């Protein structure tokens, strides 16, 4: 999946709900090849989700479900202690919603990517990870799981022979152990477009990323994420586009890689 000279660029989308606008979806769509659409539990409401799906299909952008802990107040970024059976049902419910709405518009769901604290927890905790995999299996065993490259999640997906999309981040710093730097700490998010774009090129061409302490971490990714709620998202994506062009790297949606 993927090659040295092609990469999927994904973004978290559809997170606005009610009177609250989150992200710059319309400005971001031209620069991405896949989008992970909120399922209503950390952001998104039925109308915004439907609009995002329609927009993605119009732009020929692959659609992923972006399930989270049931944490609308905390934007899904607070870890929750939930029994595996309940978590499986919570995730299954969310995937089913996006899958059904996408198919209602004539599209096809391409992958599942957990959001926020659920993503981070499932990256290294087996019970949460297996609950997500089981939820996917009970809906469509062909649906790939997108998660942190080099993580325990990737190992478990391989162990269970479940398709996995290894993901790296343009706008997040990494710890020396390969985990994302916690948002509770300083310098977790990258806001400088050139820094983010250079990180992307390093990941694609050198298969390594610089950790917060300056050390280099090996990383092999099929998809690069930019967070839709990052105020600098559009500028970062524009900078990435320029560097990809300079290095002759093509963007391809995850469905085509």
Inside any domain, residue 82: yes
Q: What is this structure's pTM? A: 0.94
Q: Are 122 and 132 in contact (CB under 8 A)?
A: yes
Residue 257 lies in a domain: no
**H/E segment holding residue 238:** helix 233-246
pLDDT of 257 reads 59
CATH number at residue 112: 3.20.20.370
Q: Is residue 122 part of a domain?
A: yes
pLDDT tens-digit readout, 160-180: 999 999 999 999 999 999 989
Is residue 256 situated within a structural domain?
no
Total length of the chain: 257
How far is CA 75 from each of CA 18, 43, 171, rounded to the nearest angstrom? 14, 6, 18
Residue 118 — very low, low, confident or very high, per pLDDT cuts 50/70/90? very high
User: Residue 69 falls within a domain, yes or no?
Assistant: yes
Residues with Cβ within 8 Å of 47's Cβ and at least 6 positions away in sequence, in order, are: none
Q: Which domain holds residue 79?
A: 6-251
Give tens-digit pLDDT for 54-83: 999 999 999 999 999 999 999 999 999 999
The reply to whether 107 falls in a domain is: yes
Query: Does pLDDT of 113 surpass 60?
Result: yes
pLDDT greater than 80 at residue 256: no
Report whether pLDDT(3) > 60. no
Positive or negative torsion for Cα 126, 131, 133, 134? positive
Rg of the chain in Å (alpha carbons): 17
Q: Is the pLDDT of residue 255 over 80?
A: no
Give backbone dihedrals phi and psi of 190, rounded to 5 degrees, phi first.
-95, 125
Query: Residue 186: inside a domain, yes or no?
Result: yes
pLDDT of 26 higher than 90: yes
User: Residue 50 domain-assigned?
Assistant: yes
Query: How many domains are contained in the chain?
Result: 1
């Amino acid at each position: 999946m993927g090659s040295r000279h092609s990469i999927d660029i994904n973004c978290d989308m559809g997170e606005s709900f009610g009177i609250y606008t989150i992200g710059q979806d319309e400005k971001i769509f031209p620069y991405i090849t896949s989008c992970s659409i909120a399922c209503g539990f950390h952001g998104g409401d039925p109308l915004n989700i439907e609009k995002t799906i329609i927009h993605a299909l119009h732009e020929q952008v692959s659609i992923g479900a972006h399930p989270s802990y049931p944490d609308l107040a905390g934007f899904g970024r607070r870890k929750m202690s939930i029994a595996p059976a309940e978590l499986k049902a919570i995730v299954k419910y969310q995937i089913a919603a996006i899958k059904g709405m996408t198919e209602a518009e004539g599209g096809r769901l391409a992958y599942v990517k957990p959001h926020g604290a659920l993503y981070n927890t499932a990256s290294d905790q087996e019970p949460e990870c297996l609950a997500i995999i089981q939820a996917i299996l009970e809906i469509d065993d062909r649906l790939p799981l997108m998660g942190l490259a080099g993580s325990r999640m990737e190992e478990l997906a391989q162990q269970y022979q479940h398709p996995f999309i290894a993901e790296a981040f343009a706008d997040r710093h990494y710890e020396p152990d390969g985990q994302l730097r916690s948002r509770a700490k300083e310098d977790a998010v990258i806001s400088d477009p050139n820094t983010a774009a250079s990180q992307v090129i390093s990941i694609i061409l050198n298969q390594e990323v610089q950790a917060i302490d300056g050390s280099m971490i090996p990383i092999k990714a099929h998809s690069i994420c930019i967070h839709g709620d990052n105020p600098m998202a559009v500028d970062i994506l524009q900078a990435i586009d320029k560097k990809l062009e300079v290095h002759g790297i093509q963007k391809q949606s995850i469905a085509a890689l």
